Amino acid sequence: MLLRMRSVLQFGEQPHWRLTRDISHLLSGRKEIASFGQLDVDLTAKQAAGSQVSGEVDVAGSLQLDAELVCSRCLSLSKQTLTIPFHERFTEANELNQEEDEEEDEIVHFVKEDQVDLAPYVDENVLLALPYVPLCDEQCRGLCPECGHNLNEAQCECKVERIDPRLAGLADFKFGGSPQSN
Ligand SMILES: [Zn+2]
Ligand SMILES: [Zn+2]
């Protein structure tokens, strides 16, 4: 995935990358990812609009990954397809623009040679897009803290039911009050 800056900026080419990338070096060893496929990469580079002076290259497109994630509440596996938008800007470094322009909303990567390997930028975008706390469902009820039963499947018999906090006082009253130490 080599981007040649000059082919885009001087010859107006719009190189396209459509490939699959093995990202096991990124994901293996992560406990919340039970299995994963290859990363589908679909990117196009072109001269950034209105950048004749600064000479910026826009690389945009999307990354897609099928993965089986471990729910952080109930530990069940759920297959998910992550679609990750990709947009990075590159410009050739020279003495005038070595400093990152902090007024720009977008970060522009300065490139010292004509060729840029896009792979590290792809990998970084994947890592940033992975859910920090994967869930099988937003409403996942998790496991019973007492018996470990998956509460999405059925309620268990344990007494540590999830009592609505508004009714907790009522429950104390009903069962004769428990000297809770909190
Ligand atoms: Zn779950
Ligand atoms: Zn239980």
Please write the tens of the pLDDT for every residue from 62-106: 999 999 999 999 999 999 999 999 999 999 876 555 555 555 556
Q: Which residues surround ligand 1, an ion (CB under 5 A)?
A: 71, 73-74, 136, 140
Q: Which residues surround ligand 2, an ion (CB under 5 A)?
A: 144, 146-147, 149, 156, 158
Same domain, 96 and 157: no
The answer to whether the CB of 159 falls within 8 A of the CB of 178 is no
- Domain, as residue range, for 168: 141-182
Residue 86: other Cβ atoms inside 10 A:
19
Percent of residues, the chain, with pLDDT higher than 70: 77
In a domain, 34, yes or no: yes
- Look at the chain and report how many structural domains it folds into: 2
Q: Residue 181 has what pLDDT?
A: 46
Percent of residues, the chain, with pLDDT higher than 90: 64
Residue 91: other Cβ atoms inside 10 A:
19
Q: Residue 93 has what pLDDT?
A: 72
Task: State the distance from the centre of ligand 2 to the C-alpha of 160, rounded, in angstroms.
Answer: 7
Q: Mean pLDDT lowest for which of 38-52, 61-75, 119-133, 144-158?
A: 38-52
Same domain, 157 and 179: yes
pTM above 0.85, yes or no: no
**At residue 179, does pLDDT exceed 90?**
no
- What are the residues whose beta carbons fall under 8 Å from the beta carbon of 45, sequence distance 6 or more? 3, 8, 14, 15, 16, 57, 58, 59
Task: State the distance from the centre of ligand 1 to the C-alpha of 139, rounded, in angstroms.
Answer: 8
In a domain, 30, yes or no: yes
| φ/ψ of residue 62, rounded to 5 | -145, 160
73 against 108, higher pLDDT? 73
- What are the residues whose beta carbons fall under 8 Å from the beta carbon of 125, sequence distance 6 or more? 63, 84, 86
Task: State the distance from the centre of ligand 1 to the C-alpha of 162, rounded, in angstroms.
Answer: 16
Give residue for tokens 């937003």: 138
Give the closest ligand to the alpha carbon of residue 32. Answer: 1
The answer to whether the CB of 116 falls within 8 A of the CB of 5 is yes
Same domain, 96 and 28: yes
